[in-house]
Chain A
Amino acid sequence: MNPQVLIDGLMAGALYGLGAIGVTLTYSILRFANFAHSELLTFGAYAALALSSALGALSAGLLEPIAPFSFGWALPLAGLVAVALTGLLALAVDAILFGRLRHRRSSIIVMVMASFGAALTLRSLIEFAFTSKPAYFTRELQIALPLGQGMRATPDQLLSLALAAILVIGVHLLLTRTAIGRSMRAVSENQALAGVVGVDVRRVIRVVWLLGAALACIAGIMSGLLVQLRPYMGFDLLLPLFAAAILGGIGSVPGAMLAGLIVGLAEAATVQLVGAEWRTAVAFVILVLVLLLRPQGLLGRAQA
């Protein structure tokens, strides 16, 4: 097998991992599969695009590529604001929709259906605003650097990989070492008891939305940078994200990242061995296998 599979798989896998961490966190705290999570990704990417072009219009210098990378300062700056905007969007959707349903003690499946409705709405509005034409953060072409063993990666790819690693470690530390992380794990195990112990469950839910949205936004920007932006970019990631979240074990951050990498590598290998047209089947096959063999996932929630 061509060793380049490793790089391609890691790239896709890092992206899946980031998205899947968001899915797994919101899932373990809010207790439903959020079909709208993918739209946070899409929204984040487009928000960053709009903001960075606005910044570029203000000062063309901001679009000037930074040393080895293909983008200028406009993108990271826009990214920061986009993260905040995506978080606000998640909080708004929760206030308008999920929060009310939760308050009514709606069943899981009503929440899932609501997330489905929210996803349809968001995705279509994004398509309306930005059209379905693919868009790009930058037109710069990058030369892939040789990494030895016949592997190559562009500076953008390496940067994304490093950023993903930092974020995963950061989230893991947040969950295991801080008071808010402890509260999150407590709520995910037993919401009522968490309240009894003094945890403000509503605050924890807000933090989880913000965290999930931030990770989704960053994954969306990465995907836009490394591939392209399309209104369906998130929708197409939904199956790999769910597969990774379930494979990793709902609630487990290391599990989600590991499973994201597994899905990414399996896809890259499939593209090599079977053919690119079967790539999207990989996530489904993995999903079926996990549900069949180990529905609690690789690392389960206990590992959190």
Chain B
Amino acid sequence: MSVELVAYGCFFLTMALTYAIMCLGLNLQWGQTGLFNVGIAGFVAVGAYVSALLTTPDVADRLGGFGLPMPLGWLGGSLSAALIAYLVGRLTIRLRADYLAIATFGIAAAVQLLALNLEPVTGGPFGIGFIPRPFAGRAGDPLLFSVLNLALVAAVVLLLYMALERLVRSPWGRVLRAIREDEPAALALGKNANRFRLQAFAIGGGIMGLAGAVQAHFIGFIAPENYLPMLTFQVWAMLIVGGSGNNRGAILGAVLVWGIWALSAAFISATFEPGQQARAASLQIALIGVAICAVLLLRPQGVLGEARVVSRHLLEAVGSRKIRVATDAQPVRQPPE
């Protein structure tokens, strides 16, 4: 009994930590750089599918699998997601800020469609099964198996966390922050803001892809319905609860929101008759929406960093009148003519 409980606890935490990886990727994009990604599910799906394709044993009715070792699958998954993020960013980052949002929204829809319709590669609606699981040899001992899996995913999160913390404190990270808070100042300082943004967006996408791969191998089975827009909303809720711009918060938020989600889902299925469950679940999503709006209204500094303190110093340091912060008094320029 208690063994089962521990095993379940491990399972729950492992799942939550896979979301924490996504959340870390989103934090790099939004929290550190201010790039709005509404297609998280798409990048996660790419990571999951590519890794699954690379590592599953050869099957007759589908391309691959190639039976490669799992680490190669993870690497391939996250590189593919990074590549797609790079392409999306390349296309839109030089345009208006919200074109990136629209394009990521589109990418998620396109990936979903490919997963569903490209049956010879993705298995279509049935997805891909028999994805090799880490420590599969120990599957006979559920407790050990789940502890080992948790340890593995926790190690991935820890490594990623340390790497990101270093990155944020590096000169590269400082430039990102300068760009996020006051692009004109950063530009006047001679930095090519878009290149930095693009790098951050691609790395963030790669991290989401890694999350997809890790999750796919942990569950052992993927299908298109795992990567609906809902996933994107959840990860956003996690980052917002944890406090964006903060890597530890991102991890904590993921665990917390996943916990609340799992509990409320259990509550819903216990309290409502099956016909009404979907309905009650929609209230869950409404809450995410309200939370996003409330944070923007009530704690704006928590969403986009420490306001303008940095930019002020930059303005003074450069002392140039070329630097102008956009205000109501200055028309915002439209897309390039």
> Which residues of chain A have C-beta atoms less than 8 A from B280's C-beta?
128
Smallest CB-CB separation from A279: which chain B residue?
B113
Taking a contact as CB atoms under 8 Å apart, the answer to whether A97 and B293 are in contact is yes
Bound CA–CA A110/B106 (angstroms): 19
- Known contacts being A106-B300, A128-B279, is A112 close to B292, with CB within 8 Å? no
8 Å CB contact of A291 from B95, B284, B293, B328? B95
> Which residues of chain B have C-beta atoms less than 8 A from A278's C-beta?
113, 117
Chain A contact residue count (CB 8 A cutoff): 60
> Which residues of chain A have C-beta atoms less than 8 A from B68's C-beta?
none
8 Å CB contact of A121 from B96, B102, B117, B293? B293
**B170 smallest CB distance to A (angstroms):** 24
- Known contacts being A120-B292, A300-B337, is A105 close to B327, with CB within 8 Å? yes
- Known contacts being A121-B286, A124-B286, is A190 close to B331, with CB within 8 Å? yes
Bound CA–CA A106/B303 (angstroms): 11
- Tell me whether A192 is interfacial, beta carbon within 8 Å: yes
- Tell me whether B274 is interfacial, beta carbon within 8 Å: no
- Tell me whether B47 is interfacial, beta carbon within 8 Å: no
Taking a contact as CB atoms under 8 Å apart, the answer to whether A114 and B106 are in contact is no
- Identify which of residues 300-337 in chain B touch chain A, using a CB-to-CB cut-off of 8 Å: 300, 303-304, 327-332, 334-337
- Known contacts being A112-B97, A280-B113, is A100 close to B102, with CB within 8 Å? no
- Tell me whether B2 is interfacial, beta carbon within 8 Å: no
1/0 contact string of A96-113 vs chain B (CB within 8 Å)? 010011001111111011
- Tell me whether B221 is interfacial, beta carbon within 8 Å: no
> Which residues of chain B have C-beta atoms less than 8 A from A113's C-beta?
36, 292, 296, 303
- Tell me whether B66 is interfacial, beta carbon within 8 Å: no
8 Å CB contact of B289 from A100, A124, A238, A246? A124
A2-10, A31-39, A67-75: which lies at the B interface? A31-39
Taking a contact as CB atoms under 8 Å apart, the answer to whether A193 and B101 are in contact is no
Taking a contact as CB atoms under 8 Å apart, the answer to whether B103 and A296 are in contact is no
> Which residues of chain B have C-beta atoms less than 8 A from A193's C-beta?
331
Bound CA–CA A174/B113 (angstroms): 40
Bound CA–CA A280/B286 (angstroms): 25
> Which residues of chain B have C-beta atoms less than 8 A from A235's C-beta?
229
- Tell me whether A127 is interfacial, beta carbon within 8 Å: yes
8 Å CB contact of A131 from B96, B279, B288? B279
**A117 smallest CB distance to B (angstroms):** 3
> Which residues of chain B have C-beta atoms less than 8 A from A250's C-beta?
334-335
Subset of 9 A-B contacts with CB under 8 Å = A33-B99, A33-B101, A97-B293, A109-B98, A116-B236, A118-B293, A124-B289, A128-B286, A238-B105
Q: Beyond A35-B105, A110-B296, A117-B293: 18 further Cβ-contacts under 8 Å?
A: A107-B97, A112-B97, A112-B98, A116-B38, A116-B101, A117-B289, A120-B286, A120-B292, A121-B290, A124-B282, A125-B286, A128-B282, A128-B283, A192-B328, A250-B334, A287-B106, A291-B91, A296-B337
Closest A-B pairs by Cβ, 8 of them: A120-B289, A117-B292, A121-B289, A124-B286, A33-B98, A127-B282, A117-B293, A124-B285
